Amino acid sequence: MIDHYFQTPDDVERRRAVTARIWGTEYELTTANAVFSFEGLDLGTAVLMRESPIPENARRLLDLGCGYGPIALALADHCPSAVVDAVDVNDRALALCRDNAAALRLSERVRVLRPEQVPPDASYDEIWSNPPIRIGKQALHELLLTWLPRLAPEGVARLVVGRNLGADSLQRWLGEQGWSCERVASAKGFRVFEVRRADNVNGSH
């Protein structure tokens, strides 16, 4: 079932507590049914966080497809000078993310938003995402082409994609769209990519 990628569920919410260990810190988080990876930190996100450096100097960060918030909350916790936009289309996920941020006293620096609530001129030092591959190739491509241009000129997007869910073809496609996409890690059946503007990588302007 992938309805959580498209809409807010209308069934009765059943919340549960889970523990997620990210960058050496254990977080007690609340999840619920009909939200991505409601049983706990999913393997792809765990690989992404383990294989990626903490962006200590970043000021503006985006968690694209935040779910109940593990990426956004870890970023805000470990980057005290950063503001993190946590974006999703599932209102239940957004409510959970908001509650988890409040419980961790991170609400002032975690802005929980639907896509249309993000200011049109917002740009980011880094974009982090375990993107919703199962929404289909066309929808995924549209999603990435909407948000990647919001990277600051020297910014980087960090993505995790399952090898068996088209990671390598996505890497090729991003290159064809004019982005530099480097595979920086491969673990547990997942690829971790760093995506940058190609002109910055090539040194041309």
> Tell me, what's the pLDDT at 9?
61
Residue ranges of the chain with per-residue pLDDT less than 50: 1-5, 203-205
CA distances from residue 203 to 38, 121, 159, 184, 197 in whole angstroms, order as listed: 43, 25, 23, 20, 10
> Tell me, what's the pLDDT at 201?
59
> Tell me, what's the pLDDT at 107?
97
> Tell me, what's the pLDDT at 134?
78
Give the total residue count for the chain. Answer: 205
Residue 20's nearest CA partner among 3, 53, 4, 43 is 43
CA 175 from centroid of its chain's CA atoms: 20
Beta partners for residue 196, in sequence order? 180
* Helix ranges (DSSP H) in the chain: 43-50, 70-78, 91-103, 137-147, 167-176, 198-202
> Tell me, what's the pLDDT at 203?
45
- Dist CA 13 CA 80 (whole Å): 32
- Dist CA 118 CA 166 (whole Å): 29
For the chain, list the strands marked E by DSSP.
15-22, 25-32, 60-64, 83-87, 110-113, 124-129, 151-162, 179-187, 190-197
Kindly report, residue by residue over 33-63, the tens digit of the pLDDT: 778 776 778 899 999 999 999 999 999 999 9
